[in-house]
Amino acid sequence: MRNSRQRSSNLSPAAKAAQTPRHASIESLDQEGRGVAHVDGKVIFIEGALPFEEVLFVSHHVKSTYELATATEVLKASSQRVTPGCAYFGICGGCAMQHLEFSAQVAAKQRMLENDLWHIGRVKPAKILPPIQGTPWHYRHKARLRVRYVEKKGGVLVGFNEKGSSYVTFMDSCEVLTQPVSDLILPLKALIGQLSVKQSLPQIELAVGEDATVLVLRILEALTEADVALLKTFEEAHGVQMWTQTKGPDTVKPLFDHGDKLHYSLPEFGLEYPFNPTEFTQVNPAINRVMIRRAMQLLQPQAGERIADFFCGLGNFTLPIARSGATVYGVEGAQALVKRAIENAGLNGVTNVEFAESDLFDMTPELLLALGAFDKWLIDPPRDGAIELIKALPEAEDPNDSHAPSRIVYVSCNPSTLARDAAILTQVKGYRLEAAGVMNMFPHTAHVESIAVFEKD
């Protein structure tokens, strides 16, 4: 009720009139997992509605061409509607699609990918890859939890933000975090309530490895000796490691010495990856393993080839590619990750790799040409995509076209930027989109992770 009151107070008279429930027939899902309908010539994005449903809705954000709304009643339910598995769904902003049957979520994400490829990139893959999917619950090994001390709500709140709000969800468990971490939410509330810094602790970043779980407390004031003693007791009681962060990433450090270090492994390739809790790793290690296998099948690295791994991070793809015998050149913009990648290569005895630090968002044709010719590329960019890198490729009629890779495997966490880059690859750079498909890295969210392979014509 609090959120709806706040939203109403900021609406215009016309928007307030829209608070009377209206009827809509839902046509599809958008990129946020909201139902899409057309009412009175406007596009309405409706939270809590599914395709082919008839709903009543009220709008909370009204513009001339579209409205954002919430379903107040489902008049005709979809056959794919299910009871959410989490008691906090609809309040917590962590998940958007728990009310949609699991396999239907994956199919919806595949449609989102195909729609973006066509409507943004004007390209269709020759083949749709079978989706990669895993367990729907307790898959998440990394997360940032908000913390807030609210005396009126009985003390400390630990969880994700409420949907569309900066408030912290009142929650005692989480069905997408690993079960041991979910079980820590209640004890964490009790612990933080006893700390002197409880009003200066806005965030806990968690990372789960194969042999260790780390909780990084973002603290804005110094801990007292009593605080440190409480944290030590919590560590020993729950088998976790307590770290702190006082300012930037370079201030992240453990409170106490520990034997077990964070790491994940890729047994198929005989690889192990140590990492620090705030370094980027995939949140879903089971899907990560299958994703790497799929990438290797599409890339088909061969001994004697020279392959580039752009946005290589700590070597998640670089080292498996190198196991093929190919010479691999990994490029990453974050200095700390480049250092970590070099360390991981050494730890695993991989010598046919080289790593370099470079801002790939400032790539130019001249800089790319200076790297030399590559037989193949693997690209795994952030949500912004790889536009400058793609634009730096020689065009089909360019004399330097021989430097262009024959195959590009593109791992994407944003289908719209993948589609944008695919348009340039297929319409300017002389590639064809051979295959594309989704990977359900984040079940119950609207986040679409995908993989595509481009071949040089």
- Structural domain count of the chain: 3
Residue 97 lies in a domain: no
Residue 128 lies in a domain: yes
* 92 assigned ligand-binding residue: yes
* 95 assigned ligand-binding residue: yes
Sign of CA dihedral 314, 320, 323, 327: negative
**Residue 312 designated active-site:** no
Q: Decide: pTM greater than 0.85.
A: yes
* 312 assigned ligand-binding residue: no
Q: Are residues 409 and 333 in the same domain?
A: yes
Residue 243 lies in a domain: yes
The length of the chain in residues reads: 457
Q: Is 442 helix (H, G, I), strand (E, B) or coil?
A: coil
Q: Are residues 157 and 33 in the same domain?
A: no
Q: Are residues 288 and 212 in the same domain?
A: no
Q: Are residues 314 and 429 in the same domain?
A: yes
Q: Are residues 127 and 162 in the same domain?
A: no
Give residue 430's domain range: 110-134+284-456
* 359 assigned ligand-binding residue: yes
Q: Are residues 171 and 63 in the same domain?
A: no
* 174 assigned ligand-binding residue: yes
pLDDT at 4: 37
User: What whole-number distance in Å separates Cα of residue 387 and Cα of residue 423?
Assistant: 10
Structural contact between residues 391 and 430, judged by C-beta atoms closer than 8 angstroms: no
Residue 105 lies in a domain: no
Single out the residue of 259, 265, 221, 223 nearest to residue 241, CA to CA: 259
Sign of CA dihedral 323, 324, 330, 334: negative
pLDDT at 58: 96
Q: Are residues 346 and 374 in the same domain?
A: yes
pLDDT at 164: 86
pLDDT at 399: 72
Residue 86 lies in a domain: no
pLDDT at 400: 73
pLDDT at 174: 98
User: What whole-number distance in Å separates Cα of residue 393 and Cα of residue 190?
Assistant: 55
pLDDT at 205: 98
Single out the residue of 383, 379, 382, 384 nearest to residue 425, CA to CA: 379
Q: What is the CATH number of the domain that holds 249?
A: 2.40.50.1070
Q: Are residues 372 and 438 in the same domain?
A: yes
Which residue type occupies 264?
Y
pLDDT at 11: 52
Q: What is the CATH number of the domain that holds 76?
A: 2.40.50.140
Catalytic annotation, pick one of 123, 331, 353, 413: 413
For the sheet with 407-412, list strands across it: 127-128, 431-439, 449-456, 407-412, 376-379, 306-310, 327-332, 353-357
Residue 270 lies in a domain: no
Residue 89 lies in a domain: no
Q: What is the CATH number of the domain that holds 124?
A: 3.40.50.150
Q: Are residues 318 and 230 in the same domain?
A: no
Q: Are residues 288 and 202 in the same domain?
A: no
Q: Are residues 440 and 320 in the same domain?
A: yes
* 175 assigned ligand-binding residue: no
pLDDT tens for the chain, residues 1 to 457 = 333 333 444 555 555 545 789 999 999 999 999 999 999 999 999 999 999 999 999 999 999 999 999 999 999 999 999 999 999 999 999 999 999 999 999 999 999 999 999 999 999 999 999 999 999 999 999 999 999 998 877 799 999 999 989 999 999 999 999 999 999 999 999 999 999 999 999 999 999 999 999 999 999 999 999 999 999 999 999 999 999 999 998 999 999 998 889 999 999 999 999 999 999 999 999 999 999 999 999 999 999 999 999 999 999 999 999 999 999 999 999 999 999 999 999 999 999 999 999 999 999 999 999 999 999 999 999 999 999 999 999 987 777 777 899 999 999 999 999 999 999 999 999 999 999 999 999 999 999 999 999 999 8
Residue 268 lies in a domain: no
* E strand spans, 225-371: 241-245, 253-254, 263-266, 271-274, 306-310, 327-332, 353-357
